[in-house]
């Protein structure tokens, strides 16, 4: 569906640009930025009628949904906001009240998302023991929260953090954990098999959780989980229930974003080899067979139980993007 370009607000364009040049890490951070932009669009709207206002919000929401096609908290958050605002619109309220409805709905979802990470941190920290060595990959707000909470509770453990090429999110993770007092070692991605024998657990986040318990996460996660499975190292996934994808109940596939080749090979180098192609998929799919547990704010579940949460999520949302 084509969007009416004239209705896309500058705040929304700015968020799109920020994400494209990779100034933001993790689906939770991107979701916060998108909802903040939508809230700004609503509060600054000069729409003269409820119909004009709703069209403006719906068009900007659809545009924001393209930020990261694999990020389910983003799509779930936007969908939930639209559901709540559309419900208000059916009551024939004026534009000012609809602005308040967007403000309330966006802030409400952001608050619940943050609260879910706090709860995940508490639940996940209980799964770590003194002396553990935890291997993690990519940037995850939930994973970082778990490790920090466990350290604050007095657990003494070590962390192996992959660089997470090609955008090197792992450098940020490693610095953040080390600054918190956690003994942290940064490793190259291709050394995962070498360090797996010294690891007790793998802990990763997720951009999305499918109905069958598979997860979509940063490229390389599937390989790490397979290596861990072979080495009999348990794999834990930290994911809010807002990351569970209702669409996958009906066989829809989560789209894997392909990012700019310049992250892998500089444009100047590409021009030296005109016949060379570069592929840079951002995410991959990890099989539920290689996942032991998913840590959510509702508790710890096996991947096979994901379908129950997906059904609940679907029943609570009616709007489409």
Q: Which residue has the higher pLDDT, 4 or 105?
A: 105
Q: Which residue has the higher pLDDT, 18 or 198?
A: 198
Give residue-wise pLDDT tens across range 260-281: 899 999 999 999 999 999 999 9
* Whether pLDDT at 187 is above 70: yes
Backbone angles phi, psi at 218, to 5 degrees: -50, 140
* Stretch 69-85: mean pLDDT: 88
| pLDDT band at residue 36 using 50, 70 and 90 as cut-offs | very high
Give residue-wise pLDDT tens across range 276-287: 999 999 999 999
Q: What is the pLDDT of residue 106?
A: 95
Q: What is the pLDDT of residue 3?
A: 44
Q: What is the pLDDT of residue 278?
A: 95
Measured distance CA(26)–CA(218) in Å, rounded: 9
Which ranges in the chain are annotated with CATH 3.40.50.10470? 120-315
Q: What is the pLDDT of residue 2?
A: 44
pLDDT over 90 for what percent of the chain? 72
Q: Mind giving me the DSSP string for 293-317?
A: EEEETTEEE-GGGHHHHHHHHHHT-
CATH of domain 5-115: 1.20.120.420
Q: For the ranges 59-68, 122-131, 296-305, which has the lowest average pLDDT?
A: 59-68
Q: What is the pLDDT of residue 315?
A: 61
Q: What is the pLDDT of residue 68?
A: 79
Q: What is the pLDDT of residue 292?
A: 98
* Whether pLDDT at 24 is above 90: no
* Whether pLDDT at 23 is above 70: no
CATH of domain 120-315: 3.40.50.10470
Q: What is the pLDDT of residue 20?
A: 65
Measured distance CA(226)–CA(140) in Å, rounded: 20
Query: Pairing between strand 283-286 and 215-218?
Result: antiparallel
Give residue-wise pLDDT tens across range 242-251: 999 888 877 6
Helix (H, G, I), strand (E, B) or coil at 35: helix
Helix (H, G, I), strand (E, B) or coil at 191: helix
* Whether pLDDT at 61 is above 50: yes
Which ranges in the chain are annotated with CATH 1.20.120.420? 5-115
Tokens for 176?
Answer: 């953040």
Tokens for 195?
Answer: 């360090």
| pLDDT band at residue 189 using 50, 70 and 90 as cut-offs | very high
Measured distance CA(88)–CA(90) in Å, rounded: 5
* Whether pLDDT at 188 is above 90: yes
Helix (H, G, I), strand (E, B) or coil at 159: strand
* Stretch 47-74: mean pLDDT: 88
* Stretch 7-33: mean pLDDT: 76
Measured distance CA(256)–CA(130) in Å, rounded: 37
């Amino acid at each position: 569906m084509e969007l009416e370009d004239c209705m896309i607000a500058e705040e929304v364009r700015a968020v799109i640009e920020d994400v494209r040049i990779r100034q933001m890490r993790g689906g939770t951070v991107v979701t916060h930025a998108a909802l903040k932009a939508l809230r700004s669009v609503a509060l600054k709207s000069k729409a003269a009628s409820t119909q004009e206002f709703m069209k403006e919000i719906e068009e900007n929401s659809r545009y924001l949904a393209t930020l990261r096609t694999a990020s389910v908290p983003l799509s779930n958050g936007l969908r939930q906001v639209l559901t709540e605002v559309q419900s208000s619109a059916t009551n024939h309220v004026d534009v000012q009240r609809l602005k308040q409805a967007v403000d309330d709905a966006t802030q409400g979802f952001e608050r619940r998302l943050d609260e879910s990470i706090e709860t995940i941190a508490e639940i996940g920290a209980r799964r770590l023991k003194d002396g553990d060595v935890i291997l993690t990959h990519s940037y995850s707000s939930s994973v970082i929260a778990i490790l920090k909470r466990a350290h604050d509770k007095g657990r003494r453990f070590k962390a192996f953090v992959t660089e997470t090429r090609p955008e090197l999110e792992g450098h940020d993770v490693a610095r953040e954990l080390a600054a918190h007092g956690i003994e942290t070692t940064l490793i190259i991605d291709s050394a995962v098999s070498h360090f797996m024998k010294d690891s007790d657990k793998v802990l990763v986040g997720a951009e999305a959780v499918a109905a069958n318990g598979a997860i979509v996460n940063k490229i390389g996660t599937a390989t790490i989980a397979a290596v861990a499975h072979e080495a009999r190292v348990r794999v834990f996934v930290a994911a809010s229930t807002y990351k569970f994808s209702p669409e996958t109940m009906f066989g829809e596939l989560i789209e894997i974003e392909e990012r700019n080749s310049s992250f892998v090979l500089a444009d100047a180098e590409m021009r030296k080899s005109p016949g060379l192609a570069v592929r840079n998929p951002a995410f991959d799919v990890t099989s539920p067979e290689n996942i032991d547990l998913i840590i959510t704010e509702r508790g710890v579940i096996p991947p096979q139980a994901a379908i129950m949460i997906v059904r609940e999520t679907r029943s609570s949302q009616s709007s489409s993007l």
